[in-house]
Structure 1
């Protein structure tokens, strides 16, 4: 909790040994080479926030955030650039609420929707040759979060007779818009798992200064300057121009 400033502990958590909790047992089995996994961190936060609710980390694999009282614990993947390294504790606490009482476990839709190509549209997707210009063609893009309406009650395993539910799984859609037009719903947590082994940045690129802006220095590339050009992908190599976005 030292890595999550402002996080609070419900004193009910001291009623049992921490070594008996699901998140503690998960740490003992798989301590992790690169920090603590997101689902284990969420399981730990849920236990200390509620003082008693002990959920198995594997039930939280799809969770992207937790909302409880006046704070939201958000997965760091949603708040940083893919080029940045994740912190050892991949969660950030922000002030806010999803408008639900009690603890809400926020998850994305199982099958996020994506804008389909309109076969009847007269517009032609033109994949132009990269001219070496560095620009941000996606400055009008934005992300919006909304409730889908799907909710599922979560109760402590083995406990019966509760009139109130311990927590709720709440489905939320993180939607991408461009110039006010919906493009797609995103599952950033799932997508981020494909970024882990990627290398970003210039690395050992031998080009310096103005030579990096000379398109003749690179092999044939096509520019991607709109979301439709990305959805209708070029056949060859391409460069998505979103510099400084």
Structure 2
């Protein structure tokens, strides 16, 4: 089931466990979490993200963007961050082969995961992209370097701190460091937004080792069409090996879903005045490296 965030059936909602914890949390055999509740709809509901999530424009106020040089401190500068789930009007019934039923037995429902800073909306996110190794690196814990080994301070002090959502939206040209240590929601959201902005995203665990980070090879550069293909890839998704089917599922149904979602998103963008680059998360910007600490 490509791109499915959660499944609602009866009084239960089954959610991919990677969406409920820090991206660097150790994986386990439990890849699905059950949450008691329902969506108030009959039948089974498969929640999917919008094909082209929207991102707000950068405010025209230079006082909101500082881009200070990184001082090496790991802090949480995103304490007012929260994630909210909302539903669009898009849904698609799934043909399960039965006839004559009044109620729909199963359907895709589009659900937007909204990123908010206090009460202000920042962006809608494609969270599952964080666990796609073609788009994001989840840095493993260091097991090679000794504690206290020389840190390449000359190099990392050239990096730029990103301490607000405005500073990420108006990304620096240098390597950026999003400081959200200990805040799993902000780290997850920052990684997803950085990917949508076209940056190479690297999420680092506790016990940050800059020697390991600097030794990483860059991900292959992706064009716009490559990004669209990559975010739907079935190959290993980060730590969650079974998040997507290895053999794929009903490709014909999913092709229809993808096509209809893209058409609906494009129509909505035109009505709301969103540009195609903006709706795609601004992937026209230069590719850069962003660390999530």
What is the SS of the residue equivalent to 2:166?
Answer: helix
Structure 1 residue runs without a partner (length 5+): 1-59
Q: Is the 8 A contact 1:145 1:172 kept in 2?
A: yes
Higher relative contact order (CA 8 A, sep 6+): 2
Find the aligned partners of 1:198 and 1:122 in 2 and give their Cα distance. Answer: 32
Cα displacement (A) at 1:87: 3.0
Q: Deviations over 1:196-232 (max 9, x none)?
A: 75324455455539x87x9668441111101111122
Q: Deviations over 1:142-178 (max 9, x none)?
A: 0001111222211214x43333321121111110001
Give the one of 202, 205, 225 matched to 2:163: 225
Report how many aligned residue pairs link the two structures: 182
Q: Deviations over 1:38-76 (max 9, x none)?
A: xxxxxxxxxxxxxxxxxxxxxx21211011111100011
Q: Is the 8 A contact 2:70 2:157 kept in 1?
A: no
Q: In 2 relative to 1, CA 229–63 (structure 1 residues): closer, same or farther, beyond 3 Å?
A: same
Cα displacement (A) at 1:139: 0.7
Q: Is the 8 A contact 1:131 1:215 kept in 2?
A: no
Note if 1:193 corresponds to 2:132. yes
Find the aligned partners of 1:226 and 1:132 in 2 and give their Cα distance. Answer: 17
The aligned counterpart of 2:58 is 117
Q: Is the 8 A contact 2:42 2:104 kept in 1?
A: no
Find the aligned partners of 1:95 and 1:170 in 2 and give their Cα distance. Answer: 19
Q: In 2 relative to 1, CA 182–95 (structure 1 residues): closer, same or farther, beyond 3 Å?
A: same
Find the aligned partners of 1:203 and 1:115 in 2 and give their Cα distance. Answer: 40
Cα displacement (A) at 1:89: 4.7
Q: Deviations over 1:93-145 (max 9, x none)?
A: 11111222221111111111111224x44545221011233211001100001
Find the aligned partners of 1:229 and 1:205 in 2 and give their Cα distance. Answer: 32
CA RMSD between the two structures: 2.6
Q: Is the 8 A contact 1:77 1:188 kept in 2?
A: no
Deviates more, 1:171-180 or 1:159-168: 159-168
Give the one of 178, 182, 206 matched to 1:240: 178
Q: Is the 8 A contact 1:105 1:169 kept in 2?
A: yes
Q: In 2 relative to 1, CA 82–222 (structure 1 residues): closer, same or farther, beyond 3 Å?
A: same
The aligned counterpart of 2:35 is 94
Q: Give 1 or 2 for the bigger CA radius of gyration.
A: 1
Q: In 2 relative to 1, CA 235–217 (structure 1 residues): closer, same or farther, beyond 3 Å?
A: closer
Q: In 2 relative to 1, CA 241–202 (structure 1 residues): closer, same or farther, beyond 3 Å?
A: farther
Note if 1:132 corresponds to 2:72. yes
